[in-house]
């Protein structure tokens, strides 16, 4: 592993890593936007989700315990999908799939892609 003096280790990142980084970044951006739009306690939870995605990207780019980040990232991201569905469609007033919306669609596509990338990266570590 080659790290720069800033702690960045991009030389060891594969195209698959970059797809995962992009997917996590997209999800983080959607969550920060929703945090501002929704506000209140739910908005704060969106900001915490953004921090989770950002921490994962930071750990991967810095080369910090990548295998652990892959393993933790899968349930973290899957939990986001489950919570979104339960809050909006089970206990909420929305109808699935008619009321998914642009933010929901973009975020869930990014999250499903992220889970797939993390699963492949984790399987390569064994």
60-82, pLDDT tens digit by residue?
999 999 999 999 999 999 999 99
Place of tokens 């929703």: 34
- Residue 121: both structure tokens together: 């990266």
The DSSP symbol for 10 reads -
pTM beyond 0.85, yes or no:
yes
The confidence score (pLDDT) of residue 15 equals 97
Maximum pairwise Cα distance, the chain:
51
Three-state SS annotation for 90-122: HCCCCCCCCCCHHHHHHHHHHHHHHHHHHHHHH
The confidence score (pLDDT) of residue 125 equals 79
The confidence score (pLDDT) of residue 5 equals 57
């Amino acid at each position: 592993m080659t790290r720069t003096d800033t702690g960045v280790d991009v030389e060891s990142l594969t195209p698959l890593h970059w797809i995962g980084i992009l997917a996590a970044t997209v999800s983080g951006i959607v969550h920060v936007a929703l945090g501002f739009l929704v506000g209140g306690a739910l908005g704060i939870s969106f900001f915490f989700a953004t921090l989770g995605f950002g921490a994962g990207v930071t750990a991967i780019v810095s080369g910090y315990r990548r295998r652990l980040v892959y393993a933790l990232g899968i349930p973290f991201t899957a939990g986001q999908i489950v919570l979104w569905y339960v809050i909006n469609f089970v206990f909420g007033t929305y109808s699935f799939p008619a009321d998914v919306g642009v933010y929901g669609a973009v975020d869930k596509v990014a999250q499903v892609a992220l889970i797939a990338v993390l699963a492949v990266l984790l399987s390569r570590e064994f």
